[in-house]
Amino acid sequence: MKKKLFLGIDTSNYMTSICFINEQRQVIFEERKLLEVKDGETGLQQSQAMFQHVKNLPSLFQHVKEFNNYTIQAVAVSKIPRPELGSYMPVFLAGVSVAGSIAGLLNIPLYETTHQEGHIAAGFYSSEQSPKNKQFLAIHLSGGTSELLYVQKDNSGYTIEKIGGTMDLHAGQLIDRIGVLLGFPFPSGHYIEQAAKDSGQAFERIPSSVKGYSFHFSGAEAAAKRKIEAGVSPGELSRAIEHVIAVSLEKVVKKAIEDGYPNEILIVGGVAQNQYVRTYLQKKLEVRSVGVKLFFAKKAYSGDNAFGVANIALDQTVEI
């Protein structure tokens, strides 16, 4: 008897991703390709990203290994960025088109989900431990999203309510803008983290701007630019950027816990890969006086990926 496979497809603003998993949520095959951004630039127009996805998807599937012992049961695809009214980005149409074609050809179910739900599923199923309760908080940190979310999980997916987040720049945008100014490639997260590690522990702090569940990073960007002009080293500035992000999250989480939100918090998104941010939050929040339990997506599945989307295909199929 052939074994069952579930396919996930995600075409975000900076990554083309496909992933096949089995019924035990083990990855059988996955492939990702980072979209190309010209040196010195900090992003892509939607048309440029869409064009690259259209080119990338056939080549990713060409690398799929022989699946003689498997049969694809369902396909899930990210259709929009977030599960909210008005959420839309053209880049996701590339994945939707291919997913629809595969589902139609194989006569199997097609499930349309969101990029954010894919991130949450990737975190939920890749973390060493997962939240025990069906209601938990999630922090989604990336180049296009920096949000505090109230999540309710059911057998087939997630109900998500945004309760806070950035009022201007996203955490990933702050990292990439400053990273490019420092001469690092885009995306700059890895280079910022490495420079900070190499610099040691001493650094001049950048003030955080937090009110309730909301935070601002535009002021941090302006302060960082002034430090560049003043000759602060790339390493010290990189650590200051990591720190202001971590402190901002610490403040909004403490406010949420004080207000009675769940104390289990799942942290996902590309910026969640940063080890300084992870360690800082564990040190400040996983203490008796605060009472938070943090869960982090596996670093390989913190950034954009189709693993979470494939898990949603499995969840939906099991629910039926």
Of the candidates 216, 211, 189, which has an alpha carbon nearest to the alpha carbon of residue 278?
189
Residue 156, pLDDT > 80, answer no
At the topology level, CATH places domain 3-127+303-319 in: Nucleotidyltransferase; domain 5 (3.30.420)
For the chain, give percent helix, strand, coil, nearest 5: 40, 25, 35
Alpha helices in the chain (DSSP H): 46-62, 92-106, 115-126, 171-181, 189-199, 218-229, 234-258, 275-285, 307-319
Q: For residue range 235-270, what is the model confidence (pLDDT) as tens digits?
A: 999 999 999 999 999 999 999 999 999 999 999 999
Domain ranges of the chain: 3-127+303-319, 135-296
DSSP code string of 178-246: HHHHTTPPSS-HHHHHHHHHHH-S-------EEETTEEE-HHHHHHHHHHHHTT--HHHHHHHHHHHHH
Residue 111, pLDDT > 70, answer yes
Residue 93, pLDDT > 90, answer yes
Q: For residue range 119-154, what is the model confidence (pLDDT) as tens digits?
A: 999 999 999 999 999 999 999 999 999 999 999 998
**Dihedral, 143, 29, 79, 305 alpha carbons, nearest 10:** -10
Asked if residue 117 lies in contact with residue 156, where contact means CB atoms within 8 angstroms, the answer is: no
Q: Is the pTM of this model over 0.85?
A: yes
Rounded alpha-carbon distances, angstroms, from residue 285 to 144, 246, 264, 265, 281: 25, 11, 11, 10, 6
Asked if residue 27 lies in contact with residue 311, where contact means CB atoms within 8 angstroms, the answer is: no
31 Cβ contact list (under 8 Å, min separation 6): 17, 18, 19, 60, 63, 64
Classify the C-alpha dihedral 272-273-277-278 as positive or negative.
Answer: positive
Residue 320, pLDDT > 80, answer no
pLDDT attached to residue 240:
98
299 DSSP 8-state letter: G
Q: Do the first three CATH levels of 3-127+303-319 and 135-296 match, i.e. the same topology?
A: yes
Instruction: For residue 202, give both structure tokens.
Output: 């001493």
Q: List b or e across 302-314, with b for residues whose CB sees 16 or more CB atoms inside 10 angstroms.
A: bbbbbbbbbbbbb
Determine which of 61-75, 76-90, 157-171, 216-230 has the lowest per-residue pLDDT on average: 61-75
CATH of domain 135-296: 3.30.420.40
Please name the amino acid found at residue 170: H
**Mean pLDDT of all residues in 8-32:** 97
Instruction: For residue 93, give both structure tokens.
Output: 């149409």
Q: For residue range 138-147, what is the model confidence (pLDDT) as tens digits?
A: 999 999 999 9
